[in-house]
Amino acid sequence: KQQSGQTGLVIMLAFLFVFLFLAAQYESWSVPVAVLLSLPMACLGAFVGIAVFGIENNIYFQIGLVMLIGLAAKNAILIVEFAQEQVNEGVEVVQAAVNAGILRFRPIVMTSLTFILGMLPLVWATGPGSASRQSIGVGVFFGMLVAITVGIVLVPFFFVCIHKMKEMIKNRRAKQ
């Protein structure tokens, strides 16, 4: 009870760690933003899921939320990494984002659906300790559903927006 109300802090720390790891991986401060912009949708799906099921926001849900952020980031990374490689090879940014979305669609959907189906026993859990399993399962289940349905469309869009903003800033600095 003393630690209740810490969900915002937990989410912020998870986002910060994802950002720092991606910034180190891509050696860029701007590319990881495209990944981070897709994560709030997954979190929103998790919160809607527990609200619909009438489950409270507890420590188990928060653990599931951190896991969800990592899984949703993995999906976004698959798209962003491929798009960035194509942009580095000289492909126009919009075409690179579209290609990445198309080529990574099947692997993202297959791995995510496998994980979502693996969450069903936690969603339907009964008996002693079922509340903790349901808190994790329902949040991650609905969060991943939203992450794959909305994220597959939004991640390429965010990649293009971030890349164009980066180019616009670079052009402004070059003019000065």
**pLDDT per position as a tens digit, 39-72:** 899 999 999 999 999 998 888 998 999 899 889 9
pLDDT of residue 147: 93
Q: Tell me: pLDDT of 3 over 60.
A: no
pLDDT of residue 27: 83
pLDDT of residue 1: 54
Q: Tell me: pLDDT of 29 over 60.
A: yes
**Considering the entire predicted model, what is its pTM?**
0.86
Q: From CA 34, how far away is CA 157, in angstroms rounded?
A: 8
Q: Put residue 56 in one of left, alpha, beta given phi > 0 → left and psi -120 to 50 → alpha.
A: beta
* pLDDT-derived band at 5, boundaries 50, 70, 90: low
Least confident of 25-29, 127-131, 164-168: 25-29
Q: From CA 141, how far away is CA 115, in angstroms rounded?
A: 8
Q: Please tell me what DSSP assigns to residue 30.
A: S
With a pLDDT cut of 70, the percent of the chain lying above it is 97
pLDDT of residue 159: 94
Q: Tell me: pLDDT of 23 over 80.
A: yes
- What one-letter code names the amino acid at 130? S
> How many other CB atoms are there within 10 angstroms of residue 171's CB atom?
9
Q: Is the four-CA dihedral 75, 97, 35, 143 of positive or negative sign?
A: negative
Across the chain, what does the average pLDDT equal?
90
